[in-house]
């Protein structure tokens, strides 16, 4: 039996995209396989680890829990677009300076999720930062350096 295919039109990192996709294809697989945007990673594929984090219409979502077909008409932003725009340059810099990444597998999702928190304004406490990032798993860093980096950026943005 051939897979059902649907036509979708959406914006990805500011570019208009029109594609035919398998109805069952996840958003993260679509971004990686069809558009070559491999900054969003695939870990658990069950909505647990946060490796696949992207933004849809400004909201942080799990790319493995959404279908590409659900994004017809949506505005999708991946780590590539958000990094290229300079929006998270300070976070990227802080992660690098404070050794908040090792293998880097979790890093795109961490950065997007941290930015979501910081966009709320103010300087969140360390417990709030931890809680906000708790849906993003990191098997390398022990999280301390990640919290340090996010806290430092929050302080700098509010100085």
Binding site for ligand FES (CB under 6 A): 42-45, 47-52, 62, 64, 101-106, 138-141
The minimum distance between CB 122 and ligand FES, in angstroms, equals 26
Tell the burial category of 11 from Cβ atoms under 10 Å away from its Cβ (0-12, 13-18, 19+).
Answer: middle
Of residues 116 and 123, the one with the C-beta less far from ligand FES: 116
- Closest separation in Å from C-beta 102 to ligand FES: 4
Rounded CA gap, 39 and 50, in Å?
Answer: 13
In angstroms, what is the minimal distance from the CB of 50 to ligand FES? 5
CA distances from 142 to 6, 98, 100, 120, 150 (A): 42, 13, 9, 25, 14
Nearer to ligand FES, 24 or 139 (CB): 139
């Amino acid at each position: 039996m051939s897979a059902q295919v649907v036509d979708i039109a959406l914006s990805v990192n500011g570019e208009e995209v029109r594609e035919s996709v398998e109805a069952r294809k996840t958003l993260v697989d679509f971004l990686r396989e069809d558009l070559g945007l491999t900054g969003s990673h695939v870990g658990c594929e069950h909505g647990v680890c946060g490796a696949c984090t992207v933004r849809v219409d400004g909201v942080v979502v799990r790319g493995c829990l959404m279908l590409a077909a659900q994004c017809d008409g949506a505005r999708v932003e991946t780590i590539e677009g958000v990094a290229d725009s300079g929006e998270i340059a300070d976070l990227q810099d802080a992660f690098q300076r404070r050794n908040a990444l090792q293998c880097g597998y979790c890093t795109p999702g961490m950065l997007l999720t941290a930015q979501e928190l910081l966009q709320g304004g103010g300087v969140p406490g360390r417990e709030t930062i931890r809680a906000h990032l708790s849906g993003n798993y990191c098997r390398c860093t022990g999280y301390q350096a990640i919290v340090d980096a996010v806290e430092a950026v929050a302080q700098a943005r509010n100085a």
